[in-house]
Amino acid sequence: MRFLILGGDGYLGWPTAMYLSRQGHEVAVVDNYFRRRACLELNCEPLIPVPNLQHRSQLWEAVSGCRIPVHVGDVCDYPFLRQVFQDFHPDGLVHYAEQPAAPYSMMGHREAILTITNNLVSTANVIHAVNETNLDCHIVKLGTMGVYGTPNIDIEEGYLEVEYRGRKQTFLYPKTPGSLYHLTKAQDGDLLYFYCRMWSIRVTDLNQGPVYGIVTEESAADERLYSIFNYDDIFGTVLNRFLVQAVAGVPLTVYGKGGQTRGYLNLKDTLACVELALQNPAAPGEYRVFNQFVETFTVTELAHRVRDAGRDLGLDVKIQNLPNPRLEAEEHYYQPAHTGLLSLGLQPHYLDRETLQAMLKVVQQHRERIDPDMILPRVTW
């Protein structure tokens, strides 16, 4: 099949492109290098230097024999995006081309407007490009479990059946996002749901938990094929950040009481979930939602796991509770469903000590590049 990866330079986008091409699919990528520019502006460059998309595409072709065409441009530029659709004719696409960081979205007016504009206009452009070029093209959009918030009832996969005054109705599950970024992820889902009803487009929304991981089977041959791995307070996800802190000898920064519970998954499982969604597309007019995670942990539980794995490697890992820079519940009920992808055949990877130690060893190889000043939180809300 022919798959288009929007945001193909990102932490998830580039591994997805390599993975799908290795499975025998024709893959093309689009990116405008926002993440790289933002990291330069904020002085929070990734741990491991990686070449640009064109260079990585050449490296991947030399290693695998698989060609991945690269389109450098902005998904918010509709003529550019429409031309990519007309040239490539995708059967399906993965929409990673959104500003991905909650802290960035809460930094100030400029970052807020960029987040709103990029995330919603890019999604609207994708919808219109599909409608104008191939209504059968399946849209897989990366959502986030953060749209649900932390309700005091079980979280279903996308929908909730409500009985009220003797009548029943199924609604999209109520959303209570905790940052502007998460709000835009809820809104882009509403856009897609609207056009599923209006134009019968096909959509799968993957509400994903935080992802961890560095090396995949595809990138193991050459670290220049690694994904962009951030460990800073803006773009770094919590477990990846803890791994770098452990190696640097910086106490693991647990915000508040550390009882914040979320669903996590390995980068390798993200790739498998995306492929399963693409190979089993939603029906015309269907807005399908999968909750994409494997295990749930509190932040404190993650910190303890990293501490124990690090000590086995001779690292003196300490944990420090900081005042929480975020407005969020630090102790709460959290019971989300996640059966859809398992029913399609997902074979999960679990966060065991061996997995943690393998990631710590990769980080150790780049220890000299760690900048401790990038770790402590700079944005509050």
Contact 218, 65 (CB under 8 A): no
Going from the C-alpha of 261 to that of each of 238, 254, 264, 335, the distances in angstroms are 12, 12, 10, 9
Per-residue pLDDT reduced to its tens digit, 8-36? 999 999 999 999 999 999 999 999 999 99
Is residue 253 among the annotated active site residues?
A: no
Beta strands in 61-191 (DSSP E): 70-72, 92-95, 138-144, 159-164, 167-172
Q: What is the mean pLDDT of residues 191-199?
A: 98
Contact 156, 175 (CB under 8 A): no
Q: Check if the beta carbon of residue 227 is closer than 8 Å to that of residue 357.
A: no
Say which residues have a Cβ less than 8 Å from residue 121's Cβ, sequence separation at least 6: 76
pTM over 0.85: yes
Mean pLDDT, to the nearest integer, of 293-321?
A: 98
What's the residue count for the chain? Answer: 381
Q: Which of 144, 253, 261, 300 is catalytic?
A: 144
Mean pLDDT of 185-197: 98
Residue 162's pLDDT band (boundaries 50, 70, 90)? very high
pLDDT for residue 376: 94
Considering 11, 104, 181, 264, which one is annotated as catalytic?
181
Q: Which residue has the tokens 């591994």?
A: 15
Is 212 one of the catalytic residues? no
pLDDT of residue 309: 98
The percent of residues in the chain predicted with pLDDT above 90, rounded, is 100
Query: Which residues on adjacent β-strands are paired with residue 94?
Result: 5, 140
Task: Tell me the C-alpha to C-alpha distance, in Å, between residue 277 and each of 203, 238, 373.
Answer: 10, 26, 39
Domain 2-230+267-293+335-348, what architecture? 3-Layer(aba) Sandwich (3.40)
Domain boundaries, the chain: 2-230+267-293+335-348
Quickly state the pLDDT bin for 374 (edges 50, 70, 90).
Answer: very high
Q: Rounded distance, CA 243 to CA 252, Å?
A: 9
The rounded distance, in Å, linking the Cα atoms of 173 and 170 is 9
pLDDT digits (tens, 9 = 90+) for 217-228: 999 999 999 999
Place of tokens 């932040």: 299
Burial of 356 by CB count in 10 Å (0-12 exposed, 13-18 middle, 19+ buried)? buried
Give the pLDDT band (50/70/90) at residue 164: very high
CA 14, 192, 186, 155 torsion-angle sign: negative
Using alpha carbons only, what angle is made at residue 140 by residues 7 and 146, rounded to the nearest 5 degrees?
80
Angstrom distance (rounded) from CA 210 to CA 187: 20
Task: Catalytic residue, from 11, 16, 96, 185: name it.
Answer: 185
In 118-201, at which residue ranges do the beta strands (DSSP E only) sit?
138-144, 159-164, 167-172
Read off the pLDDT band of 77 (50, 70, 90). very high
Q: In this structure, what DSSP letter does residue 345 have?
A: T
Task: Measure the CA–CA gap between 368 and 270, rounded to whole angstroms.
Answer: 29
Q: Which of 262, 332, 330, 331 is nearest to 291 (CA)?
A: 262
Is 185 tagged catalytic?
Answer: yes
Q: Is 163 exposed, middle or buried (0-12, 13-18, 19+ CB in 10 A)?
A: exposed
Burial of 40 (0-12, 13-18, 19+ CB in 10 A): exposed
